[in-house]
């Protein structure tokens, strides 16, 4: 039986699973033939956990116990500005946990964000196993190109909790380029404009046959379709207040209904010039009378609201071209990826900025998962044993699609196996500089932005006091010279050092960013050659006991 590696696009709004079949990559669908699944998890009063479309239906009636847009939270400490902003907008409560973790409280449970994402991943695993009719334990999971180390580690943790062996974390734009270019013998520069539900990425690649080399990447992990919804929702809130003198912001249930309607309005305006909706019984007046909202939004008015968000994407494109050190006119193709690229304003703005029609021949909601599936099959082929050679005793076969018997080998004759499918080679880059804190509140860059991965750099550290047997350094990602203006990842801890006078012990620390974009460290005593204990304690990271508890709830046989 053939083994499969799932390609999973774990999205803010929707998630998609795909697998490589003999005829190419294919999106895997549920019993109702639906591919994309809402990235929503709802905790039912009965104790069951609903994921996907069933969870989305409960969002309007049980908002406090239904979690969505978790991707905007994953890998972010509770004290971060992004989490604090989200906490004020979402109906489900969030609190800070140990190590500054973001904890979501639903019914009688306290869940970390990787656990929530694990429910979604496990749901995709179940759909895949029903479609493929076999157990599937391996996966390639995609992340925004601009995800930092903590966010990538949290995604890996979510996959592990869901019972998946995550072979690789790859960037979403790179996966999309793979879906467009694999097997097509291209020799072109391609820009992937990836505008999803919660994040925006732009990646410039050079494709030579099966070599996919990233020249530059840039992005914003807090810019996406959710922000368009908020603009429309704010317009509805203002109109409802003007018509009824009722402020819907004081009513969590009303706000959740408006958020859902805003998403519908956005989608309608992608196919028509105006959207007309009526929200009945949105609230009730002092005398108990129902208060309804009749709302009309013209596409032109929506575009005026949204143009600021779209303009932000092109500032990021400018940044990517600067990093790649190439002019805009050398790009041969512009590929659209992500649900937000369905918005006419976005498509027309892309056409105007690049002075060419963008490429959208593959479903923008599915292309990332398809590329991840291609990469998964390639990784599997790289470790699979070579096929056995047919001999004269081999049974007669049929040429597929022709109904003709194949000519059997002559006695004693051996034939080479069919040539393997070409395997893609992905050469990606670091999205942000990696640095450590130094005196004066500054950050010293260890591995610069846009360095090709895997990448490594060695630095020498020394204890600052006599007899010191451990030392720690704060680490960050970002481009500012000031440490506090970057994203603090956590601490690098060197332990078990031999006691000596100040400056006598010198520790060689090798910082490595692997093919997943994840940071690893190795350390040794420069004088003795002895390997030292070196660990990275990430802010908001799950501990071993928390991982174990989460796996019991969500892993094979549990959860969704």
Provide the edge-to-edge strand list for the sheet that holds 200-208.
333-337, 187-195, 200-208, 211-220, 425-427
The catalytically annotated residue of 20, 26, 30, 71 is 71
Joined together, the tokens standing for residue 125 give 């695993």
Half-sphere exposure of 224 (CA within 13 A, CB side): 25
The catalytically annotated residue of 20, 26, 172, 428 is 172
Kindly give, in sequence order, each residue whose CB lies less than 8 Å from that of residue 252, ignoring residues fewer than 6 positions away.
63, 64, 91
Distance in angstroms (rounded) separating the CA atoms of residues 207 and 331: 11
Distance in angstroms (rounded) separating the CA atoms of residues 167 and 490: 25
Residue 38, beta-bridge partner list: 14
Joined together, the tokens standing for residue 451 give 């360095």
Joined together, the tokens standing for residue 259 give 């958020």
Task: Find the length of the chain.
Answer: 560
Whether 344 contacts 201, CB under 8 Å = no
What are the CB-based long-range contacts (under 8 Å, 24+) for 407-411? none
DSSP three-state, residue 371: helix
Q: Is 172 a catalytic residue?
A: yes
Q: Is 184 a catalytic residue?
A: no
Task: Please give the biggest Cα pair distance in the chain.
Answer: 95
Containing 180, the helix (H) or strand (E) segment is: helix 172-181
φ, ψ (nearest 5 deg) of residue 181: -105, -15
Joined together, the tokens standing for residue 144 give 């925004």
Cα-Cα-Cα-Cα torsion 535, 540, 541, 547, nearest 10 degrees, comes to: 150
Joined together, the tokens standing for residue 554 give 């969500």
The catalytically annotated residue of 62, 149, 194, 366 is 194
Positive or negative, the CA dihedral 145, 148, 150, 153 is: positive
Q: Is 71 a catalytic residue?
A: yes
Q: Is 229 a catalytic residue?
A: no
Containing 317, the helix (H) or strand (E) segment is: helix 299-324
Residue 395's Cβ-count burial label (10 Å; 0-12, 13-18, 19+) is exposed
Half-sphere exposure of 508 (CA within 13 A, CB side): 11
| Residue 138 to residues 168, 425, 519, Cα–Cα distance (Å) | 10, 20, 22
Q: Output b/e per residue, 318-334; b: 16+ Cβ within 10 A.
A: eebbebbebeeeebebb
**Angle ∠(445,447,452) on CA atoms, nearest 5:** 150
Cite the active site residues.
Answer: 9, 71, 172, 194
């Amino acid at each position: 039986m053939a083994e499969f590696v799932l390609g999973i696009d774990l999205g803010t709004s929707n998630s998609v699973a795909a697998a490589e079949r003999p005829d190419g990559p294919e999106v895997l669908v549920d019993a109702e033939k639906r591919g994309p699944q809402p990235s929503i998890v709802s905790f039912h009063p009965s104790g069951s956990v609903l994921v996907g479309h069933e969870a989305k239906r409960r969002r309007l009636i049980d908002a406090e116990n239904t979690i969505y847009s978790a991707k905007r939270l994953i890998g972010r400490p509770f004290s971060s500005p992004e989490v604090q902003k989200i906490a004020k907008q979402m109906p489900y409560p969030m609190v800070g946990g140990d190590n500054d973790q973001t904890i979501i409280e639903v019914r009688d449970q306290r869940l970390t964000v990787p656990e929530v994402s694990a429910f979604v991943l496990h749901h995709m695993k179940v759909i895949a196993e029903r479609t493929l009719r076999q157990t599937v334990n391996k996966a390639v999971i995609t992340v925004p190109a601009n995800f930092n180390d903590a966010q990538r580690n949290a995604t890996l943790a979510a996959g592990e909790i869901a019972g998946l062996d995550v072979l690789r974390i790859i960037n979403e734009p790179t996966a999309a380029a793979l879906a467009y270019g694999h097997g097509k013998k291209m020799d072109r520069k391609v820009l992937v404009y990836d505008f999803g539900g919660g994040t925006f990425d732009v990646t410039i690649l050079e494709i030579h046959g099966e070599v996919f080399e990233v020249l530059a990447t840039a992005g914003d992990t807090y810019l996406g379709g959710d922000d368009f919804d908020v603009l429309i929702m704010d317009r509805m809130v203002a109109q409802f207040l003007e018509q009824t003198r009722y402020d819907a912001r004081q009513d969590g249930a009303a706000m959740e209904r408006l958020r859902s309607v805003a998403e519908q309005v956005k989608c309608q305006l992608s196919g028509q010039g105006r959207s007309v909706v009526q929200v009945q019984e949105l609230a009730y007046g002092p005398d108990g009378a129902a208060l309804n909202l009749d709302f009309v939004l013209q596409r032109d008015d929506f575009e005026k609201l949204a143009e600021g968000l779209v303009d932000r994407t092109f500032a990021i494109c400018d940044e990517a071209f600067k990093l790649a050190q190439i002019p805009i006119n050398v790009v041969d193709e512009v590929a659209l990826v992500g649900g937000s690229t369905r918005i006419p304003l976005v498509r027309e703005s892309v056409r105007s900025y690049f002075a060419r029609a963008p490429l959208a021949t593959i479903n923008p909601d599915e292309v990332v998962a398809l590329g991840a599936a291609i990469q998964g099959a390639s990784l599997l082929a790289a470790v699979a044993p070579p096929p056995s050679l047919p001999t004269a005793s081999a049974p007669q076969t049929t040429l597929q699609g022709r109904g003709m018997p194949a000519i059997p080998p002559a006695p004693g004759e051996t034939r080479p196996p069919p040539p393997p499918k070409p395997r893609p080679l992905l050469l990606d880059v670091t999205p942000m500089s990696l640095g450590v804190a130094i005196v004066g509140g500054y950050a010293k860059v260890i591995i610069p932005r846009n360095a090709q991965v895997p990448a490594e750099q060695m630095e020498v550290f020394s204890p600052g006091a006599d007899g010191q047997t451990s030392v720690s350094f704060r680490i960050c990602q970002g481009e500012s010279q000031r440490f506090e203006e970057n994203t603090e990842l956590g601490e690098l801890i060197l332990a078990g050092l031999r006691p000596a006078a100040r400056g006598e012990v010198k520790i060689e620390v090798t910082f490595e960013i692997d093919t997943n974009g994840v940071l690893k460290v190795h350390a040794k005593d420069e004088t003795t050659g002895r390997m030292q204990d070196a660990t990275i304690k990430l802010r908001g990271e799950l501990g071993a006991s928390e991982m174990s508890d989460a796996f019991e709830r969500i892993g094979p046989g549990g959860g969704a």
